[in-house]
Amino acid sequence: MSGSAAAWHPWPEEYAARYRAAGWWRGETFGSVLRERAAAHPDRIALVDPAGGADGGRRTWTYAELDARADRMAAGFAARGIAPGDKVVVQLPNTAEFFEVVFALFRIGALPVFALPAHRRTEISYFCSFTGAAAYVIPSVHGGHDYRELAAAVRAEVPGLREVFVADGDPGAFTALADVPVPVPVGALPGALPGALHPVPAPEDLAFLQLSGGSTGVPKLIPRTHDDYIYSLWASNEICGVDADSVYLVALPAAHNFPLSSPGSLGTLYAGGRVVLAPQPVPDVAFPLIESEGVTITGLVPPLALLWTEAAAHTDRDLSSLEVLLVGGAKFSEEAARRVRPGLGCTLQQVFGMAEGLVNYTRLDDPEETVVTTQGRPISPDDEIRIVDDEDREVPPGEPGHLLTRGPYTIRGYWNAPEHNARSFTSDGFYRTGDIVRTTPTGHLVVEGRAKDQINRGGEKIAAEEVENHILAHPAVHDANVVGEPDPYLGERTCAYVILREGAEALRPAAVKKFVRERGLAAYKVPDRVEFVSAFPKTGVGKVSKRDLRTAAAPLPRPATPALTPTPPPQH
């Protein structure tokens, strides 16, 4: 069965015992944590959804309210046949319902599969069919996209998908999320649903499936447990100074691992703090929220951090409550990093993390030089780091090499992917991150590059192979290679080099982009540039040299349109 040991790789018992004995794994579940916080401080505000009210105005939920809502939603899901171990694809924007739904699923031991609002038919159908999802949760319309149409297309492709829940507005042919909750008697046990036979999820059970940017033809799913993820939350809170007085702004898409857990919304809820949901990450939306809600901490990808730093110079908004800005997801240049403190008046923390586990932070008391020149050091004393050459031999200290890692919150295998796991994990359980790093004498990591065949487009990861496969489906295309090329705003953007079939009618770049888009792929995966060539550069052994393709990149035109970052930067 999907939730069973056959589908994922729990930590070997000796490691699990060690992580428990060390105090990293506390034996808590998300359901029990929320219940405890609600009991300890029922009236504290947990969530602020600035546009979530019935009239489109500000809406807040206290801890008691979130807890009660999660219970009623859990009971409603259970009544509709969602059972422990079931997968539910959750594709919600930054709204309070995201938390109501995921805590409800946590309570019944059903597993959210965290899709991003940008995902489209191809990705969602894959998540639904690959996980055998029982349900799919969407907004009605968001960002100009009608998710009900998307759900109808997915439903047609994946008949096993039993239910689609629509979180707001007109549900169309589907079920309104508001019709799901059922009353639950007061005082129900943590996680136990009255009238249901469901066992309470155990701390070592899977809590959800997170997505990997990946480097293969299809995205991979990352199985995370209550124990391991909750450890990454409270330890991140200690490192980032998140406590009950913190106000965390979710600027990036809520389901992404970074704003979810580093320390993110879930870390902040663990600490009893307040989470503010920004509908958009742009300064025009975020700055007024920082001012009115007294935001103390947030996390951004580098292009947005640059945008905010520049916009701060011209804003009338009072940003003085902001104490910490986390920047990660892609390499933050030293020059940009130096501008954060003078520009925004807050402390920068670089964060180099991955949904598979390992997260590194610069520390709040690190010297400024360390903060601007490194990507931080691991959360845990039990994070094991190896930096190796192509033959898996350790490189001398300070030399760049492949980063391998193992530890109390780093997975031992992707979900249901035995062949891929054989490549992505060593036989002794280290995850091959695909990143090239070096260490400094202080134990901080500096990201030097990447060995995986992936493009990091301003923090959005794109597996080259996935996009290549879609381009190859075009009848006029003989071969295709997708590589990253420098972009002044995004860091990297994508270029597809395409060889047309002999005798095929000439194509325009726009036709290739349209073709990829119409295959139902997230917009950020559509190549920024398409170049037609007659041959690819080859390596000595005759393989396509992506390195040569990258350096063959054309001169930089205007910045590409960002995905995580909706408006282009101001032009100077």
The contact set with ligand DBH (CB under 6 A) reads: 257-258, 261-262, 328-329, 351, 353-355, 359
CB 131 within 8 A of CB 89: yes
CB 498 within 8 A of CB 530: yes
329 part of the interface to ligand AMP, by CB under 6 A: yes
Task: Give 115 or 164: the residue with its C-beta nearer to ligand DBH.
Answer: 115
| In the complex, least distance from residue 461 CB atom to ligand AMP, rounded to whole angstroms | 4
257 part of the interface to ligand AMP, by CB under 6 A: yes
Task: Give 439 or 456: the residue with its C-beta nearer to ligand AMP.
Answer: 456
Amino acid letter, 367: P
As a whole number of angstroms, the distance between CA 570 and CA 434 comes to: 33
Residues facing residue 450 across a β-bridge: 435
| In the complex, least distance from residue 3 CB atom to ligand DBH, rounded to whole angstroms | 23
337 part of the interface to ligand AMP, by CB under 6 A: no
- Give the CA diameter of the chain: 73
Residue 192's alpha-carbon distances to 97, 122, 127, in angstroms, are 21, 36, 28
Does residue 11 sit in helix, strand or coil? coil
Q: Residue with the closest Cβ to ligand DBH?
A: 353
Cα 464 from chain centroid (whole Å): 18
User: Which of 461, 474, 493, 513 contacts ligand AMP by CB under 6 A?
Assistant: 461
As a whole number of angstroms, the distance between CA 513 and CA 501 comes to: 17
Task: Give 49 or 356: the residue with its C-beta nearer to ligand AMP.
Answer: 356
Give ∠ CA 505-507-509 in degrees, rounded to 5. 175
Query: Token digits for 70?
Result: 């999660």
Residue 237's alpha-carbon distances to 232, 244, 245, 271, 463, in angstroms, are 9, 10, 12, 7, 31
Phi and psi for 371 in degrees, rounded to 5?
-65, -40
Task: Give 272 or 328: the residue with its C-beta nearer to ligand DBH.
Answer: 328
Q: Residue 526: which of 537, 514, 542, 508 has the closest Cα?
A: 514
Segment lying near ligand AMP (by CB under 6 A), choices 229-237, 246-254, 324-332, 519-527: 324-332
Q: Which does 131 bind (CB under 5 to 8 A by kind): ligand AMP, ligand DBH, none?
A: none
Q: Residue 525: which of 514, 534, 516, 515 has the closest Cα?
A: 516
As a whole number of angstroms, the distance between CA 401 and CA 544 comes to: 23
Phi and psi for 85 in degrees, rounded to 5?
85, -15
Q: Which does 375 bind (CB under 5 to 8 A by kind): ligand DBH, ligand AMP, none?
A: ligand AMP
| In the complex, least distance from residue 516 CB atom to ligand AMP, rounded to whole angstroms | 20
Task: Give 216 or 257: the residue with its C-beta nearer to ligand DBH.
Answer: 257
Q: Residue 483: which of 517, 454, 440 has the closest Cα?
A: 454
Does residue 307 sit in helix, strand or coil? helix
As a whole number of angstroms, the distance between CA 61 and CA 41 comes to: 13
| In the complex, least distance from residue 446 CB atom to ligand AMP, rounded to whole angstroms | 9
As a whole number of angstroms, the distance between CA 307 and CA 313 comes to: 10
Residues facing residue 222 across a β-bridge: 210
| In the complex, least distance from residue 435 CB atom to ligand AMP, rounded to whole angstroms | 5
Q: Residue with the closest Cβ to ligand AMP?
A: 213
Q: Which does 331 bind (CB under 5 to 8 A by kind): ligand DBH, ligand AMP, none?
A: ligand AMP
Site map (CB under 6 A) of ligand AMP, residues 430-449, x = contact? ---x-x-----------x--
Task: Give 47 or 221: the residue with its C-beta nearer to ligand AMP.
Answer: 221
Q: Is residue 160 packed enough to be buried (19+ CB in 10 Å), middle (13-18) or exposed (0-12)?
A: exposed
Task: Give 257 or 439: the residue with its C-beta nearer to ligand DBH.
Answer: 257
Give ∠ CA 553-556-559 in degrees, rounded to 5. 125
366 part of the interface to ligand AMP, by CB under 6 A: no
| In the complex, least distance from residue 95 CB atom to ligand AMP, rounded to whole angstroms | 23
421 part of the interface to ligand AMP, by CB under 6 A: no
User: Which of 330, 490, 495, 563 contacts ligand AMP by CB under 6 A?
Assistant: 330
| In the complex, least distance from residue 248 CB atom to ligand AMP, rounded to whole angstroms | 18
450 part of the interface to ligand AMP, by CB under 6 A: yes
Query: Token digits for 352?
Result: 């180099």
Residue 554: CB atoms within 10 Å: 9
Task: Give 283 or 299: the residue with its C-beta nearer to ligand DBH.
Answer: 299
352 part of the interface to ligand AMP, by CB under 6 A: yes
| In the complex, least distance from residue 116 CB atom to ligand AMP, rounded to whole angstroms | 11
Task: Give 158 or 206: the residue with its C-beta nearer to ligand DBH.
Answer: 206
Phi and psi for 280 in degrees, rounded to 5?
-140, 150
Task: Give 325 or 480: the residue with its C-beta nearer to ligand DBH.
Answer: 325
Q: Which does 359 bind (CB under 5 to 8 A by kind): ligand DBH, ligand AMP, none?
A: ligand DBH
Q: Which does 447 bind (CB under 5 to 8 A by kind): ligand DBH, ligand AMP, none?
A: ligand AMP
Within positions 196 to 215, which residues make up the interface with ligand AMP, using CB under 6 A?
212-213
Q: Which does 261 bind (CB under 5 to 8 A by kind): ligand AMP, ligand DBH, none?
A: ligand DBH
Query: Token digits for 249?
Result: 């702004």
User: Which of 113, 138, 355, 498 contacts ligand AMP by CB under 6 A?
Assistant: 355
Does residue 434 sit in helix, strand or coil? strand
261 part of the interface to ligand AMP, by CB under 6 A: no
Q: Is residue 138 packed enough to be buried (19+ CB in 10 Å), middle (13-18) or exposed (0-12)?
A: buried
Task: Give 134 or 251: the residue with its C-beta nearer to ligand DBH.
Answer: 251
Residue 99: CB atoms within 10 Å: 25
Give ∠ CA 417-19-380 in degrees, rounded to 5. 90
354 part of the interface to ligand AMP, by CB under 6 A: yes
Task: Give 125 or 225: the residue with its C-beta nearer to ligand DBH.
Answer: 225
CA-only gyration radius of the chain, Å: 23
| In the complex, least distance from residue 331 CB atom to ligand AMP, rounded to whole angstroms | 4
Task: Give 375 or 565: the residue with its C-beta nearer to ligand AMP.
Answer: 375
List residues binding ligand AMP (CB under 6 A).
212-213, 257, 328-331, 350-356, 375, 433, 435, 447, 450, 456, 461
